[in-house]
A and B are shown apart, each in its own frame.
Chain A
Amino acid sequence: MKFGVIVFPGSNCDRDVAMVMRNLLNQPTRMVWHEESDLSDLDVIIIPGGFSYGDYLRCGAIARFSPALQATVRHAEQGKLVMGICNGFQVLTEAGLLPGALMRNRDLHFICDRVSLKVERTDLPWTQAYQKGQVITLPIAHGEGCYYADADTLSALEANGQVLFRYCDASSAVTPASNCNGSLNNIAGICNRQGNVLGMMPHPERASDPALGNTDGRKLFEGVLLGLGAVGAKG
C-alpha cells in the first residue's frame, strides 16, 4: 500500500505524517508537492495539518484549487482512501469532499491540548483497529476547529453514521464541558457517505511514536493497513 502526503506552501505536519508512515509503519510513502497532478500511483492520500497558502481568505480555501487537490478529488471519486488531518480536514470541507465547515473556535482561542475522543464506529478502515465506544486521547492544535453544518446536513451525518470521533470526557460521556471548541454534536472527525474520505481535527500522527508517550493515534494508521474490505459496508 503506497501513501502520499500532500505538501502545500504552509503545511507543517507533513513530515510528522511521513515519519509515522515510513519509519514506524515501514510503508512506502512519498511527499506530493501541491503542483503535482498525477497521483495515480498512490493508494492512500493524506492531507496534513498546517496553514495551506497561509489560510488566506478562509482555512483551506485556496488549497482546494491546487492541482494536487484536484487529483485528490478524482482519487476519492474512485473510492480510494483520503484522509485530512486538521488543516487537511478544513481543505476537504472546502473542496466539498466532506460536508459542513470548520469555523473559529467557540472561545476564539487557538487550542493546543490533549483531548479525549470517543470512537463511534469501527467498521471502516480508519477505525477498525479500535473498539467501538473506546476513549482515546489525541493532541489537538487549532484555531478553527468548530464543526458546523446546517440542521439537515447534521441529521443526515448522524443518520448515516458518518461521525467517527467525538470530543468526550474520560468516561466516554459526550458533554458540553468536553466540547473543547464548540463543534456541533461534539464532532471531532467525520467521513463521507461512502466512508473512504476521513477528516478530523485531532492529530493521530502526533500520538504514534512511543517516544512521545502516547500511541493512541497509531491504531488509526494500522487500521488502514489492515485492509480496505470494510469500505462501503454502510451506505
Chain B
Amino acid sequence: MTQTYQARIYVTLRPSVLDPAGTAVQSGLKHLGYDNVERIRIGKYVELTLTAADEASAKQQLDRMCDQLLANPVIENYRFELLETAEAKSL
C-alpha cells in the first residue's frame, strides 16, 4: 500500500547570502510608491508528486532530494509542505 503525495518545495537563499535580485525588485516596488516594503528575498518554488509508504518516508525522501539536488546547501535553505492526494494507490 502506497500513498500519493503532493509536495510544495520552497528554496530560499540563506539569510547570510546577499540577494541582489531581491534588492533590485525592492527598489522597483519603491519606485511604484511602496515605501513600506522591506527585506525582499527571491527564491524558487518546486512542486512534484511522489509515492511513498507513508508520510515519514515521503518526508525523508524529500529531504534527500533537496539536499542532493533541489537546493544547494552552501547558499540555500529549503522547506516543504506535503499534501496527501485524494486517491491513495494500492499495490
Q: Which A residues are closer than 8 A to B by beta carbons?
A: 57-58, 61, 65, 93-94, 99-101, 103-108, 148-150, 182
Contact = CB atoms under 8 A, between A and B. Distances in A.
A182 B72 contact: no
A93 B69 contact: no
Nearest first, the 6 A-B pairs at minimum CB distance are A101-B74, A101-B75, A106-B20, A108-B20, A101-B72, A58-B72
Size class of the contact patch on chain B: 10 to 19
Nearest to B69: A61
A94 B76 CA distance: 13
Nearest to A151: B16
28 contacts: A57-B69, A57-B70, A58-B72, A61-B69, A65-B69, A94-B72, A99-B74, A101-B72, A101-B74, A101-B75, A103-B17, A103-B75, A104-B20, A104-B21, A105-B20, A106-B18, A106-B20, A107-B20, A108-B20, A108-B21, A108-B24, A148-B17, A148-B74, A148-B75, A149-B74, A150-B16, A182-B18, A182-B20
Given A106-B20, A108-B24, A150-B16, A100 B72 contact: no
A105 B21 CA distance: 9
Contacts of A108: 20-21, 24
Interface of B: 16-18, 20-21, 24, 69-70, 72, 74-75
Contacts of A58: 72
A61 B5 CA distance: 25
A100 B16 CA distance: 13
A229 B49 CA distance: 52
